[in-house]
A and B are shown apart, each in its own frame.
Chain A
């Protein structure tokens, strides 16, 4: 079941089109990466999902019904531009933000105590935010985002401004949230994090969705039939055998030889291996999939030239 669907969502600001018929399906319980270069329309889409702005046309369906004001109690949002009231006490502030999400004061306090202990910031409850280090402020920010136990969490560039230790902590927490059944939308242009934790992605460029699917499928879709091969045997002989089926890009000789190459159209890895196996001893063979970063750059370049 999809926890969230957007159907043909359009949004215009004056002459500028921020979103052009964007349709997404986000299955429940996954981590969904919303990717795209700066200014592509990611934040606009996220603001529409959070009902901060309304789409000009198109619909957003949340858990099977059209998105309605009460749904915000089930959505947690950590914006890219985020902050806290500097002069307000940490505890009071967290309670206030939780109340705005619909929690009662007592409930908010009880849950906050647990989180503050978990993140080891309990003694900062009565301090003002400006006394906190940047890292601690970010912990507070994260807690206020997840406190009402939303079913859908949206993080816009979550790792920007986090130091590596806190970024790692955040990643662990996000995975933990997923394990507990939450769905997470994750907007970023940091591709490394996408490969590690996302199940599905959608790529938005110049207000249009240009690509979506599971990370595995997309890498298959963009694969260039590159392979790596290790062997023990005669180097010249193996090059001759490979020649008709694939082009050799690199070849290291030695006790164990390494070849990286690209399969020619019309051939399969199995055919190649069948040819090689009787003649040389193969110690390793692997398909090389493109990184998400390569796919991202390629897809965006393709769509820009169209």
Chain B
């Protein structure tokens, strides 16, 4: 038994010491942290410039009526002498001149913006929204609708998903977050199973082409060598995950405050939201839609059981990986060089690819019949089940899927080891399917 540990140790240390592993471990967190920080950083960069827009309003309807924001300010001209303001534009220092012509009541194409730069989308959206709203109000008022009625009629709707759990509890639900999580989990599992499985296969081929394999199997059983390799590679992958998570969190918390001082404030807010949920619930108003969304996300975060996710992720990753890497090890033993693997790789990895293709469907409709079966059938279940997990899967289904996966992986490993132990000692020829069938029967 101690020999299998010696093999695991070698498989692990030689891979962890490789340059490619170290580069991947360092580059990954930089990329992840950049992905986390970049959107916030970009938003900040956009908004920091204060834009003062000179409004030349020939209708006089909009005077002092356009709402300002932190970064968009309006200055209204006393008259509508556009030519004069245009001539003085350079010296005036305004960001742009907004000209609203008389026609604006009848035609949508009556608003013009003059500037020496291209006004940002934000600015244009803000102005057109405000003008539309103002016109709408004015027109309604012209038809005799009272402002009070107007205010009462307007309601903005944001849907709050409430999920009724098996034991009758109600939980807030945020579909977007779950979809992202679902896709990420399924995809991550697909990628890691594929990559680590490939690493196992290349290891087997390396031993075969280096002709060291016969030396080793005179000391240990082929099964020990195969399992040692598979376990060693899985530990390498788990180490990589752990490094990515720790380094990403470390990098993010070190760099984010420097680049985005606002995040500290945001975190405070989020704490406020999560801790004082009830307080906020009382002050729910229709105007607070954005704030509602944030609250929704946070409460969804609370409703997602990360413990279950972590456990199921580890379980389905390990079992799925063992299942496929045993098959990949057998493929490695069947061939004499890497270019011969293609014809075997395709049929073996097909179920995994199908699960990946179905993944977009899985995340939008996790409980459909197709996705139910995909998450039960052992060859696709690791990817599909993981994608279903964020939405919540009944324990009975989870249990059925897990048991089937374990049974299959034991059976497949047993068959694979039979192919493996004969295949590794075949030099210079590619096995035919008939021969492989004989190896399995023997």
Contact = CB atoms under 8 A, between A and B. Distances in A.
Interface of A: 14, 47, 50-52, 69, 72, 75, 77-79, 81-88, 96-97, 99-101, 141, 144
A217 B219 CA distance: 36
Contact of B6 (A81, A82, A99): A99
Contacts of B14: 85, 87-88
A97 B425 contact: no
A79 B216 contact: no
A81 B218 contact: no
B215 A79 contact: yes
Given A14-B438, A83-B210, A100-B3, A77 B215 contact: yes
Contact of A100 (B220, B427, B438): B220
B440 to A, nearest CB: 13
A70 to B, nearest CB: 12
A38 B211 CA distance: 19
Given A72-B219, A85-B207, A100-B3, 10 more contacts: A14-B435, A14-B438, A50-B218, A72-B218, A78-B215, A79-B214, A85-B210, A86-B210, A100-B219, A101-B219
**Interface footprint category on B:** 20 to 34
A47 B426 CA distance: 13
A77 B212 contact: no
Given A47-B425, A96-B10, A100-B3, A84 B218 contact: no
A82 B212 CA distance: 6
A52 B218 contact: yes
Interface in B214-234: 214-221
B12 to A, nearest CB: 12
21 contacts: A14-B435, A47-B425, A50-B218, A51-B218, A52-B214, A52-B218, A72-B218, A72-B219, A77-B215, A79-B214, A81-B427, A82-B211, A82-B215, A83-B210, A84-B212, A85-B14, A85-B210, A88-B14, A97-B215, A97-B216, A101-B219
Contacts of B219: 72, 97, 100-101
A144 B215 contact: yes
B316 to A, nearest CB: 32
Given A87-B14, A96-B10, A100-B3, A77 B210 contact: no
Of the listed residues B14, B206, B218, B220, the one surrounded by the most CB atoms of chain A closer than 10 A to its CB is: B218
Nearest to A80: B214
Interface string B77-113: 0000000000000000000000000000000000000
Contact of B212 (A50, A72, A75, A83): A83
Nearest to A52: B217
Q: Which 9 A-B pairs have the closest CB atoms?
A: A83-B211, A100-B219, A79-B214, A83-B210, A77-B218, A50-B218, A81-B211, A99-B6, A83-B212
